[in-house]
Chain A
Amino acid sequence: MPQGKIKLSFRIVISKNSVTKWEKLIWESTYKEFLMQSQLFSDRENPAQSFKQLLSQNEKASQLHFLVSTAAHPYVMQWKGLIYFLADNLGNNFLPFEQYRFDIIDSNIYDKQSHEIGITFTSPLLTLVDIWEGHYLVSLDENADPVNTGAETLMFKMQPRLSVSFFKP
């Protein structure tokens, strides 16, 4: 029985194919920010086209992950600490997050359609009660003692881009 304390991480990938308004706003604003901030690291006369090319020419361009995150940040804040793309089995309870990390998967100053970014949310410490039928059975109370006193739980289905990112027995 895999009991312990865990953190769950959930990654959202936003691209030209994203459909929700929230994702589209982030896609637009982070591309604009990429165009502006990438000029810090690119050659003035002959700028690198793609983010990956820029990284290979100037490793300091890895700062762009952070710098461009400033354009996504207000939208992450609008979620007020809940990952609204990760509902539990009921569909109306959402995993809370206390950290997030933004990354640029790729982008291109000449081709907006290739702009693709990731946001990885990480939960606070949770109590993992068990794994049932492909679901993480967790309590949001990190000090829960489900075996002896019981605990309120949520069930999150195992799925792509949902990982246990921290474990403590």
Chain B
Amino acid sequence: MKREDFLKRGFGSLGLFAAIPLLSACKQTDVIDPETTGATTGTTGTTTTTTPSTCSVTNSETEGPFPTKTPSSLVTNNIVSDRQGDKLTVNVIIRNVNNSCEVLPDAIVDIWHCDAAGNYSEYGGTGMQSTNYTSVHFLRGRQTTGSTGLASWTSIYPGWYSGRAPHIHVHIYNAKGTSLLVTQIAFPEDISKLVYAQGVYKSHGQADTTNARDNVFGDGVTNEMSVVTGDVTNGFVLTHTIFVKA
């Protein structure tokens, strides 16, 4: 089965699900909370005789604050979070090969990259993450392309880690969430050299892998190479066009 089909099914079933909780709701209401019981005396007389001592999980209080439907924390155009570094505006334009390379609106674009020290926001292994939980998703973002095919973020210039040339990961989906392309964006080496010689990047030194020796870009970096303008004082602007089949 093609992934278009499974995604359709997956999202399509969202509507179906709405009926399910009603069926199972009676399970939780069996648990009578002493305070709720008190409050309902007179309307549901039978519940007042329930012994509350066996009930360790209360209902009315444990709902917590009223929840508000909120998009994924990825959906943000400022992905800096608590990271330090030179400001980088990332402009990605998506074009559709199946439509004479016209711009592609409504495409969902995820980007992620490492921080100045070369670390991704990811907790590894089975241990508890060591960073503050409120900033665990740094340097990851999701935007939807507008009528000009542009998706934009405010970030910092990525650092580097051993064995890889500096890069930004990109995952492009259509409006339904079906994956169209997973790719990476390369950086001009002369600009990376300037960045890594100063500021929070300096202690980590220069990248150990050139684009030519990189195992992703090594087969020809032309299509993945971005245009980067700016300077370390005012920050940088990256522009890159990605072609997909949508």
Contact = CB atoms under 8 A, between A and B. Distances in A.
A78 B65 contact: yes
A129 to B, nearest CB: 20
B21 A19 contact: yes
Nearest to A82: B64
B70 A98 contact: no
Nearest to B14: A28
A91 interface: yes
Nearest to A35: B10
A80 B33 CA distance: 24
Contact of B122 (A20, A63, A110): A63
B35 A39 contact: no
A149 interface: no
A146 B178 CA distance: 58
B209 interface: no
Given A70-B73, A70-B137, A21 B67 contact: yes
Interface string B19-46: 0110011011000011100000000000
Contact of B62 (A17, A66, A84): A84
Interface residues of B, number: 52
Contacts of B10: 31-32, 35, 109-110, 112
Contact of B33 (A74, A91, A99, A110): A91
B9 A92 contact: no
A40 interface: yes
B6 A99 contact: no
A33 B70 CA distance: 13
Nearest to A39: B179
B177 A98 contact: no
Contacts of A47: 3, 6
A112 B13 contact: yes
B182 interface: yes
Contacts of A69: 136-137
A113 B35 CA distance: 33
A101 B62 contact: no
17 contacts: A16-B24, A25-B67, A33-B72, A35-B7, A36-B177, A39-B178, A71-B73, A74-B72, A75-B70, A77-B73, A78-B67, A87-B57, A91-B34, A99-B133, A101-B123, A113-B17, A159-B57
Report, nearest first, the 9 A-B pairs whose CB atoms are least far apart: A84-B64, A74-B70, A39-B179, A73-B73, A22-B67, A71-B72, A35-B10, A36-B177, A70-B74
Interface of B: 2-3, 6-7, 9-11, 13-14, 17, 20-21, 24-25, 27-28, 33-35, 56-58, 61-74, 108, 122-123, 128-129, 133-134, 136-137, 140, 171, 173, 177-179, 182
Given A19-B28, A73-B137, A112-B17, 8 more contacts: A21-B66, A28-B17, A32-B177, A40-B179, A66-B122, A84-B64, A87-B61, A112-B13
Interface of A: 16-22, 24-25, 28-29, 31-33, 35-36, 39-40, 44-45, 47, 63, 66, 69-71, 73-80, 82, 84-87, 91-92, 98-101, 109-110, 112-113, 122, 157, 159
